């Protein structure tokens, strides 16, 4: 079995001494054969929050913001970061960063893109009173706290018009890598006059801009047009993008078939088996920076201590990942070999201990029996999932495998809504193992490990805690040498394989298809199509 | 008659209060915290959650939340959704679309259901009658998803007669296919109901009278039989219209209709109380008006029916 | 009591040759008293459609009660993904579902759940609908106002919301009865409204006046005369809604508030097969056929009963 390895990126972590991100890459300048005024249509979902960068944490709004804003850095298809607005990002110690902005950049309303436009936006995003959904991204910056409202982070300082410094609470060498994420986008001075109106009609500095007032027709479409003044590496090769808002991917797929849609990002379950033949040469199915896992908290009966370790290992060995990804997902998921994702720099399939993810029903039964010797198992193994998402198929399949291979009772435990599942997970009231998943915010090993398994970390759903793991993570984050950092993170993963706080299942592939009329369609590490380089012949 | 209508409209007040209270309570009782869900797989900081609860009044006890919402309605403020859009705007955008769709669907249901039901009833036991039963059976035992999917594939993609999904603005020509699909849900009921009613009416004395007076069958069928068979059918159509105004979630999804069904579903799943209650409030009003109209129509169809004084 | 004849309504006298003269003044005192239900039964048992539908229903009931007589294959154990959507094999006459479970066995074992949910829901809807509709239509005035508006409230509650709330509260009691109650409690207003309309029409008939003139009590008139003459549309709707009820059970499971996933039902299999419509339609069509046949037999039975209860239709034959 082969995992298509994409993205051993150009740069990822801080180089010793002064770190400067590579300038704009010239590799992805497509042969512009299409009509540069043609408008591309792509499916999207209704943004769930106002279009304010620090308050957008889901894909519907994210796709819009990615295209109408330009951050300090941007990610290429492989997940490598390159400077966009930033002239340079420099640090000596991975703790204090000096960020210089390119000269002469403006927002589409003429406001300058300067140090102030970043610092004000970040301060707003971090302030407790503003309760921004992405405030967590500012946590590492000095002065950030959830205990009280802080209007201005002490770690952010404007040096001059085009320079500001960021001081972190502790060294984090992948900080520059994060700066392409939505939450770190700048905001124009005019945004502060009426932020509510701005959220409806944002003004950015990216390759595209909103197509006038009312470009966001709720539940129907969001139209963006080329920003002629954009001066940067992501210049649009087309005239604009019509983002058609769908409630069901099935409808979007039908529109692609019917020729009413140019690019489909994401493929409905009903077409997983057929889309690659139907759109031969015009489809994509490659691993993305997201994975699916089963979390079994230590606090559950039969899953603590040595018994828990044995049982989790047994369950892991009893799941035939390849069969589930082949049959249930038709090859649109890739079996997991680690806790991160193949598109991340430093990914490895051969981390010691990763053989716990191999399908081995004999060993599974043995381990389960060993655990039974400690305390005999009784009852049904239940796996909770939210029924408002497409989970029932694979959960039932995994339950059947556990039933067949461990000879125990196993079943899926549907929870009606995502809200209910997350509430019971957050409040630790859930009494069964549950499904979890992680989509990377930025392409880094640390993002797959720190927020999920660090002691007391925000998204540590299983409340896992291991001081050894924490120490390795900290060392890795502070390492100023790329390879040294990766080594520490991989050592940290070895501990995870030992403890199995979650059971990795598979990586979520980026899926998509497009019509004959468009060219240069490429999907990025984050499973999104890179829209600015698409050309269309009419 | 005017008094009757006025009384019926007055009844709307307790009904509205009762329904909004009930719905608000149900949304409140929905398990799961909508604020936590806003953060996706990430676990939010309790301090931020607290702030947001306050912003949406979710930190108040249920009864306070309800009265705050009710007070807002009287000021014409239906609240805002999590995406910052005023609920009144959502209502104004979605209801006209769904209304058009529902009217079209009921129209198709009426034309096809009544015609086929009438012929089946007049030729009871014949081949036509049996075929109509088989078609109805197929339609009621297939989930709407399948019917919508197949219709979209054949008429939208293969034959290209209709646009695969509804384009922005939801023009009538795009709504025809989804309306036909929706009409199939109740096609069986309307057909069977018409058929039964026609069979019943066909044996009534006044039909025999008409025949004995020498009236032709062509006149008896529409004027005497059909008109007198319509009461249960019209009642059911009205009920169905109400169902279509809220319940077309699946069909609206497959044809991407920016209507009430999918918006309401999303709001329920996300626990957006003000949105759900506002939608249902409008629904109740529509439903009350339709039922009133139908009750008035009974008297036209059968003059023996009168209004209680 | 308002007069029920309109001034313009002309009396109709049938032509002599159409109505053969019978002696109406002699009473057959030794004959059994005529009764609507015994008459209906006499009529019904002469009709082949009755026996066909009854046999089908009996078959479905036997399958529901004794699934083990029809298949030895376990429906939910030994599901192998290697068999996913596979075709028929010896011992597996209908092939396999996406999860690799035996389709035939699942249909047989799902009968019990689907049939019980269908029948219980239909019973709840019919009972509530008939009581509410009959009272509202017959007594009118404030009774009508209260009951009809109550129906409006129930009808306006979005079904998904109600189902999720009710089933979450009652999650530890997720059995066939609770599920049926959750479905039925919101479905009765349609039946009630149709019956109410029919009663509005029938209660002004001559035979009601006659009964009133004879001093029969109001309630007795409703039960003995008005109801049997207005019940036809209710029978039609109820028999068809059996199908909706069976499908509604699947919707609840789909929403994650239905029966435990180890419980088999046709609706569940139909809804799970939806995503494979393009590639394995048989996984959807086969349980749908089971559903259709069951509903067909009940529709046929309803048809026979409706005919039998209608004295005019009976006389015509």
Residues A100 and A183 in one domain: yes
Work out the mean pLDDT of chain A and round it to a whole number.
87
pLDDT at A8 over 60: no
Which of C13, C47, C141, C161 to mutate to test binding with chain B, by most B CBs within 10 Å of its CB?
A: C161
Residues A267 and A300 in one domain: no
Tokens 């019971």 correspond to A424
Average pLDDT over residues C251-265: 75
C294 three-state secondary structure: helix
Domain that holds residue A273: 19-282+515-536
CATH number at residue C240: 1.10.3720.10
Average pLDDT over residues A309-337: 93
Among the listed residues C312, C306, C304, C288, the one whose alpha carbon sits nearest the alpha carbon of residue C46: C304
**What's the CA gap between C237 and B237, in Å, rounded?**
12
- CB contact under 8 Å between A419 and B34, yes or no, is yes
pLDDT at C18 over 80: no
- Which residue in chain C is spatially nearest to B232 when comparing CA positions? C194
pLDDT in tens, B91-140: 888 888 998 999 999 999 999 998 998 888 888 878 888 888 888 888 87
Residues A212 and A236 in one domain: yes
Tokens of A200: 């409806």
**What's the CA gap between B171 and B156, in Å, rounded?**
16
Residues A247 and A274 in one domain: yes
- CB contact under 8 Å between B276 and C158, yes or no, is yes
Residue C258 binned pLDDT confidence (cut-offs 50, 70, 90): confident
10 Å Cβ neighbour count for B126? Answer: 12
**What's the CA gap between B253 and B95, in Å, rounded?**
15
Chains contacting chain C through 3 or more C-beta pairs under 8 A: A, B
Set of chain B residues whose Cβ sits within 8 Å of the Cβ of A460: 43
Contacts of C81 (CB under 8 A, 6+ apart): A320, A323, A324, A327, A328, A397, A400, A401, C99, C100
pLDDT at C12 over 60: no
Q: Is A374 inside any structural domain?
A: yes
Contacts of A407 (CB under 8 A, 6+ apart): A365
Q: What pLDDT is recorded for position C31? A: 58
- Which residue in chain A is spatially nearest to B48 when comparing CA positions? A131
Question: Concatenated DSSP letters for B14-26?
Answer: HHHHHHHHHHHHH
Residues A176 and A303 in one domain: no
**What's the CA gap between A383 and A319, in Å, rounded?**
13
Count CB pairs under 8 A between chains A and B: 162
Which of C100, C164, C275 is nearest residue A269 as measured by Cβ atoms? C275
Angle at which helices C266-273 and C282-309 cross, to 10° = 140
- CB contact under 8 Å between C197 and B235, yes or no, is yes
Q: What pLDDT is recorded for position C34? A: 63
Average pLDDT over residues C21-40: 63
pLDDT at A21 over 60: no
Residue C228 binned pLDDT confidence (cut-offs 50, 70, 90): confident
Set of chain C residues whose Cβ sits within 8 Å of the Cβ of B19: 152-153, 156-157
pLDDT at A105 over 90: yes
Residue B192 binned pLDDT confidence (cut-offs 50, 70, 90): confident
CATH number at residue A80: 3.40.190.10
B233 and B193 Cβ atoms separated by less than 8 Å: yes
B142 three-state secondary structure: coil
| pTM for this predicted structure | 0.85
Q: Is C269 inside any structural domain?
A: yes
Contacts of C271 (CB under 8 A, 6+ apart): B143, C250, C251, C253, C254
The dihedral sign for the CA sequence A8, A525, A273, A437 = positive
pLDDT at C103 over 70: yes
**What's the CA gap between B288 and C153, in Å, rounded?**
10
Q: Where does A20-108 have alpha helices with state H?
A: 59-68
Among the listed residues A98, A89, A181, A91, the one whose alpha carbon sits nearest the alpha carbon of residue A134: A181
Q: What pLDDT is recorded for position A12? A: 30
C62 three-state secondary structure: helix
Q: Is C3 inside any structural domain?
A: no
Q: Which of residues 208-227 of A touch B (CB under 8 A)?
A: 217-221
- Which residue in chain A is spatially nearest to C276 when comparing CA positions? A270
pLDDT at A5 over 50: no
Residues A273 and A315 in one domain: no
Q: What pLDDT is recorded for position A87? A: 92
pLDDT in tens, A329-355: 999 999 999 999 999 988 999 899 999
Q: Is A80 inside any structural domain?
A: yes
Residues A325 and A431 in one domain: yes
Q: Is A4 inside any structural domain?
A: no
Q: How many distinct structural domains can be found in chain C? A: 1
What is chain A's percent helix, strand, coil content, to nearest 5? 30, 20, 45
Residues A455 and A526 in one domain: no
Q: Is A1 inside any structural domain?
A: no
**What's the CA gap between A89 and A174, in Å, rounded?**
12
Which of B31, B196, B308 is nearest residue C306 as measured by Cβ atoms? B196
Work out the mean pLDDT of chain C and round it to a whole number.
80
Residues A493 and A460 in one domain: yes
Set of chain C residues whose Cβ sits within 8 Å of the Cβ of B264: 158
Q: What pLDDT is recorded for position A225? A: 94
Q: Is C90 inside any structural domain?
A: no
Residues A309 and A209 in one domain: no
Q: Is C84 inside any structural domain?
A: no
Which of B232, B268, B298 is nearest residue C158 as measured by Cβ atoms? B268
Which of B32, B41, B263 is nearest residue A219 as measured by Cβ atoms? B263
**What's the CA gap between C88 and C73, in Å, rounded?**
14
A459 and B41 Cβ atoms separated by less than 8 Å: yes
C2 and B306 Cβ atoms separated by less than 8 Å: yes
DSSP A355: G
Angle at which helices C103-139 and C176-184 cross, to 10° = 40
Q: Where are the domains of chain B?
A: 87-301
Which of B30, B32, B164 is nearest residue A260 as measured by Cβ atoms? B164
Q: What pLDDT is recorded for position C20? A: 57
Contacts of B62 (CB under 8 A, 6+ apart): B24, B25, B28
Set of chain A residues whose Cβ sits within 8 Å of the Cβ of C179: none
pLDDT at A26 over 70: no
H or E element, residue A102 = none
Residues A27 and A48 in one domain: yes
Among the listed residues A120, A118, A119, A96, the one whose alpha carbon sits nearest the alpha carbon of residue A105: A118
- CB contact under 8 Å between C240 and B23, yes or no, is no
* Among the ranges given (C3-17, C34-48, C210-224), the one the predictor scored with the smallest mean pLDDT: C3-17
Residue B298 binned pLDDT confidence (cut-offs 50, 70, 90): confident
By CB atoms closer than 10 A (0-12, 13-18, 19+), residue C86 is middle
Count CB pairs under 8 A between chains B and C: 174
Contacts of A286 (CB under 8 A, 6+ apart): A4, A6, A509, A510, A523
User: How many Cα atoms within 13 Å fall on the side-chain side of residue C120?
Assistant: 18
pLDDT in tens, B149-159: 888 888 988 88
Which of C79, C277, C279 is nearest residue A400 as measured by Cβ atoms? C79
C90: distance to nearest CA of chain B, Å?
A: 28
Which of B31, B163, B254 is nearest residue A420 as measured by Cβ atoms? B31
Using a CB–CB cutoff of 8 Å, tell me whether B205 touches chain C: yes
Q: How many distinct structural domains can be found in chain A? A: 2
CATH label, B87-301, candidates 3.40.50.2000, 1.10.3720.10, 2.40.50.180, 3.40.50.300: 1.10.3720.10
By CB atoms closer than 10 A (0-12, 13-18, 19+), residue C264 is buried
- CB contact under 8 Å between A459 and B160, yes or no, is no
- Which residue in chain B is spatially nearest to C292 when comparing CA positions? B141
Residues A110 and A229 in one domain: yes
**What's the CA gap between B304 and B296, in Å, rounded?**
12
A98: distance to nearest CA of chain B, Å?
A: 29
């Amino acid at each position: 079995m082969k995992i298509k390895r994409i993205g051993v990126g150009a740069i990822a972590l801080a180089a010793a001494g002064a770190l400067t991100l590579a300038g704009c890459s010239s590799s992805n300048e497509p042969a512009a054969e299409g009509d540069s005024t043609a408008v591309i249509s792509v499916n999207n979902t209704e943004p769930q929050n106002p279009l304010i960068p620090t308050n957008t944490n889901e894909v519907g709004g994210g796709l819009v913001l990615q295209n109408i804003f330009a951050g300090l850095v941007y990610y290429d298809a492989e997940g490598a970061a390159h400077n966009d607005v930033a002239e340079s990002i420099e640090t000596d110690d991975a703790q204090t960063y000096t960020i210089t902005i390119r000269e002469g950049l403006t927002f589409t309303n003429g406001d300058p893109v300067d140090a102030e436009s970043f610092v004000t936006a970040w301060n707003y995003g971090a302030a407790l009173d503003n309760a921004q959904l992405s405030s967590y991204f500012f946590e590492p910056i000095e002065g950030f706290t959830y205990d009280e409202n802080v209007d201005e982070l002490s770690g952010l300082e404007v040096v001059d018009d085009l320079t500001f410094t960021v001081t972190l609470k502790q060294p984090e060498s992948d900080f520059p890598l994060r700066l392409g994420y939505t939450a770190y986008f700048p905001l124009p001075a005019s945004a502060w006059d009426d932020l509510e109106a701005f959220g409806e009609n944002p003004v950015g500095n990216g390759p595209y801009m909103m197509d006038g007032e009312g470009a966001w027709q709720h539940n129907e479409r969001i139209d963006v047009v080329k920003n002629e003044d954009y001066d940067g590496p992501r210049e649009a090769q087309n005239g604009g993008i019509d983002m058609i808002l769908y409630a069901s991917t099935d409808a979007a797929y039908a529109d692609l078939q019917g020729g009413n849609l140019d690019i489909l990002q994401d493929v409905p379950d009903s077409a997983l088996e057929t889309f690659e033949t139907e759109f031969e040469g015009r489809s994509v199915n490659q691993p993305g920076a997201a994975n699916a896992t089963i979390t079994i908290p230590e606090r559950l009966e039969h899953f603590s201590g040595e018994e828990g370790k044995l049982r989790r290992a047994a369950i892991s060995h009893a799941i035939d990942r390849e069969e589930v990804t082949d049959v249930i997902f038709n090859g649109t998921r890739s079996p997991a070999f680690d806790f991160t994702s193949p598109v991340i720099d430093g990914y490895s399939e051969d981390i010691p201990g990763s053989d716990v993810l191999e399908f081995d029903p004999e060993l599974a039964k043995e381990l389960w029996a060993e655990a039974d010797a400690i305390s005999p198992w009784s009852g049904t193994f239940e796996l909770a999932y939210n029924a408002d998402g497409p989970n029932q198929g694979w959960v039932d399949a995994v339950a059947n495998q556990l039933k067949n291979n461990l000879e125990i009772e196993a079943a899926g435990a549907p929870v009606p809504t995502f809200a209910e599942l997350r509430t019971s997970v957050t409040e630790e009231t859930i009494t069964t193992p549950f499904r979890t998943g992680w989509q990377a915010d930025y392409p880094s090993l640390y993002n797959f490990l720190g927020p999920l398994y660090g002691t007391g970390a925000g998204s540590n759903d299983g409340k896992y805690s291991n001081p050894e793991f924490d120490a390795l993570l900290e060392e890795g984050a502070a390492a100023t040498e790329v390879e040294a950092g990766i080594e520490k993170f991989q050592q940290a993963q070895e501990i995870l394989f030992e403890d199995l706080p979650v059971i990795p299942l598979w990586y979520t592939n980026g899926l998509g298809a497009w019509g004959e009329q468009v060219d240069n369609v490429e999907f990025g590490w984050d499973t999104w199509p890179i829209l600015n380089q698409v050309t269309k012949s009419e | 008659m005017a008094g009757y209508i006025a009384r019926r409209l007055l009844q709307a007040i307790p009904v509205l209060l009762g329904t909004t209270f009930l719905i608000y309570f149900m949304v409140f009782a929905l398990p799961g915290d909508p604020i936590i869900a806003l953060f996706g797989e990430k676990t939010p900081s309790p301090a931020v959650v607290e702030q947001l609860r306050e912003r949406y009044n979710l930190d108040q006890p249920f009864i306070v939340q309800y009265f705050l919402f009710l007070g807002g309605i009287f000021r014409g403020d239906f609240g805002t959704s999590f995406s910052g859009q005023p609920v009144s705007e959502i209502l104004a955008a979605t209801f006209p679309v769904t209304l058009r769709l529902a009217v079209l669907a009921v129209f198709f249901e009426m034309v096809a259901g009544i015609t086929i039901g009438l012929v089946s009833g007049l030729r009871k036991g014949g081949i036509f009658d049996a075929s109509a039963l088989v078609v109805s059976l197929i339609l009621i035992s297939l989930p709407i998803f399948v019917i919508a999917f197949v219709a979209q594939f054949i008429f939208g993609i293969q034959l290209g007669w209709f646009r695969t999904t509804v384009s922005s603005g939801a023009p009538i020509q795009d709504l025809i296919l989804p309306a036909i699909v929706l009409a199939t849900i109740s096609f069986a009921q309307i057909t069977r109901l018409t058929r039964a009613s026609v069979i019943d009416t066909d044996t009534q004395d006044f039909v025999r009278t008409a025949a004995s007076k020498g009236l032709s069958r062509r006149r008896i069928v529409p004027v005497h039989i059909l008109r007198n068979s319509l009461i249960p059918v019209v009642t059911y159509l009205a009920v169905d219209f109400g169902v279509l105004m809220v319940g077309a979630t699946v069909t609206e999804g497959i044809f991407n209709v920016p209507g009430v069904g999918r918006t309401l579903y999303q709001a329920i799943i996300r626990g957006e109380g003000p949105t759900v209650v506002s939608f249902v409030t409008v629904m109740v009003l529509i439903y009350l008006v339709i039922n009133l109209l139908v009750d008035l129509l009974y008297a036209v169809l059968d003059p023996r029916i009168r209004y209680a004084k | 009591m308002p007069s029920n004849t309109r001034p313009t309504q002309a009396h109709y006298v049938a032509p002599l040759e159409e109505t053969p003269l019978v002696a109406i003044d002699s009473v057959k005192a030794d004959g059994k008293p005529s009764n609507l239900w015994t008459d209906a039964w006499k009529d019904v048992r002469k009709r082949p459609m009755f026996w066909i539908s009854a046999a089908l229903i009996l078959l479905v009931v036997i399958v529901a009660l004794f699934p083990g007589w029809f298949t030895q294959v376990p429906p939910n154990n030994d599901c192998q993904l290697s068999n996913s959507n596979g075709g028929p094999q010896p011992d597996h006459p209908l092939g396999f579902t996406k999860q690799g479970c035996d389709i035939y066995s699942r249909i047989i074992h799902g009968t019990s759940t689907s049939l019980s949910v269908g029948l219980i829901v239909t019973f709840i809807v019919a009972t509530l609908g008939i009581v509410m509709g009959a009272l509202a239509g017959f007594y009118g005035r404030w009774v009508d106002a209260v009951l009809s508006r109550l129906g409006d409230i129930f009808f306006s509650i979005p079904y998904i919301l109600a189902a999720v709330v009710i089933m979450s509260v009652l999650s530890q009691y997720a059995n066939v009865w609770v599920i049926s109650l959750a479905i039925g409690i919101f479905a009765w207003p349609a039946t009630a409204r149709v019956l109410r309309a029919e009663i509005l029409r029938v209660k002004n008939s001559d035979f009601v006046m006659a009964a009133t003139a004879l001093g029969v009590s109001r309630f007795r008139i409703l039960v003995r005369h008005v109801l049997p003459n207005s019940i036809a549309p209710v029978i039609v709707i109820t028999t068809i809604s059996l199908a909706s009820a069976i499908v509604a059970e699947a919707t609840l499971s789909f929403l994650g508030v239905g029966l435990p996933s180890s419980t088999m039902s046709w609706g569940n299999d139909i809804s799970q097969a939806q995503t494979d419509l393009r590639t394995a339609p048989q996984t959807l069509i086969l349980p749908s056929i089971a559903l259709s046949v069951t509903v067909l037999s009940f529709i046929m039975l309803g048809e026979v009963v409706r005919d039998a209860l209608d004295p005019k239709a009976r006389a015509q034959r």
